[in-house]
Structure 1
């Protein structure tokens, strides 16, 4: 998953929240002192009893918990654009000093894991890659074929966007397995599945030479 995708998932999270005001993604707002544009991951604008309220949401796609400096940078951004509240959404949590700082100034810290973020932008069709453990396998390759006699077969598969390790699901025999790039295997139906540079391929009714 990239930081841009994580930022998109955070935006989707707040867009899906009922009654949470007007949600805008990747907004450029002027600095109230310098006038220079400042980038905001997610801007939430609410009208409360005739008073406009502005909240900024900052996505932190870090491999480790965010520290107090990250919280302070978001607070500085909120002040610079005249926001009433700041929210920080982190992929891997936060340190205790960061939590204390946020609590003291009324900044919300929210946890959105990589798994949860991926499910927001690619619902029900992804798996974390067990080979590189750095990106996801999007199950976007599917198809069906009818054989002589009327029997039919359909499958679901995909590859890691990073290392191209494949995930396959044979709907007939029920096999669910991972295949490294340039490797292959035969399922219980006798079909050979291969992970190639161009995607997942299937050769029907082959026999595994090890059998």
Structure 2
């Protein structure tokens, strides 16, 4: 995968996740302050409660974590494009200063880690775990993955994208699911 494939994968992800929104790959908009045409990796536009909403997604296919300068540059671009929200996505993570700048700033900016190679390790955005003849559909919240790899004690689990189960457990930020028939569960509780 190269940077272009990475951008296309992210575009496809948002197109599938938000099928009713207008999602444009490689969009061009003239900045309100710069007065020049700005390139946007993925532009999401939709009406929310009768108001136009613009989300700018910047895909960074870098070989190392994103630093604070990159985040601040993106914040400036969001202001120039009059965006309601920004999402900066990378496959390698962010420096602590970059995370702090996004988290404590007044801008509506989210940072996310999306490494498509992780999906080959039984991580995905949705899953249908099963036990015997019972199953359920689970969709992960934004920024999280469903891990349906074989585990002792539970059918599948959810944790933040960019982590593995052990790291998520260490941070105490994960959930797990089990499927039981009520009669079997009642039997376990009574005995």
TM-score by length of 2: 0.58
Structure 2 residue aligned with 1:107: 109
Q: Report which of the two has the higher share of strand.
A: 1
Structure 2 residue aligned with 1:65: 65
> Contact 1:92 / 1:111 at 8 angstroms: preserved in 2?
yes
Q: C-alpha separation between the residues in 1 aligned to 2:120 and 2:82?
A: 31
Task: Determine whether 1:80 maps to 2:89.
Answer: no
Give the 3-state SS of the residue equivalent to 1:92 in structure 2.
coil
Instruction: Give, in angstroms, the shift of residue 33 of structure 1.
Output: 2.1
Aligned counterparts, 1:40-51, within 5 A: 40-51=40-51
Task: Determine whether 1:55 maps to 2:55.
Answer: yes
Task: Determine whether 1:95 maps to 2:76.
Answer: no
Structure 2 residue aligned with 1:17: 17
Give runs of ≥4 in structure 1 deviating > 4 Å. Answer: 116-119
Instruction: Give, in angstroms, the shift of residue 18 of structure 1.
Output: 3.5
TM-score by length of 1: 0.53
Q: Report which of the two has the higher share of helix.
A: 2
Gaps of 5+ in 1: 120-211
Gaps of 5+ in 2: 122-191
For the structure 1 residues 118 and 26, does the alpha-carbon distance in structure 2 shift closer, same or farther, using more than 3 Å as the test?
farther
Q: C-alpha separation between the residues in 2 aligned to 1:49 and 1:96?
A: 35
* Number of residue pairs matched by the alignment: 119
C-alpha distance after superposition, 1:64-106 (max 9, x if no partner): 1101111111111111111111100011000111111111233
Give the 3-state SS of the residue equivalent to 2:17 in structure 1.
coil
Structure 2 residue aligned with 1:33: 33
For the structure 1 residues 18 and 58, does the alpha-carbon distance in structure 2 shift closer, same or farther, using more than 3 Å as the test?
same
For the structure 1 residues 28 and 75, does the alpha-carbon distance in structure 2 shift closer, same or farther, using more than 3 Å as the test?
same
Aligned counterparts, 1:112-127, within 5 A: 112-116=114-118
The CA RMSD over aligned residues, in Å, is: 2.0
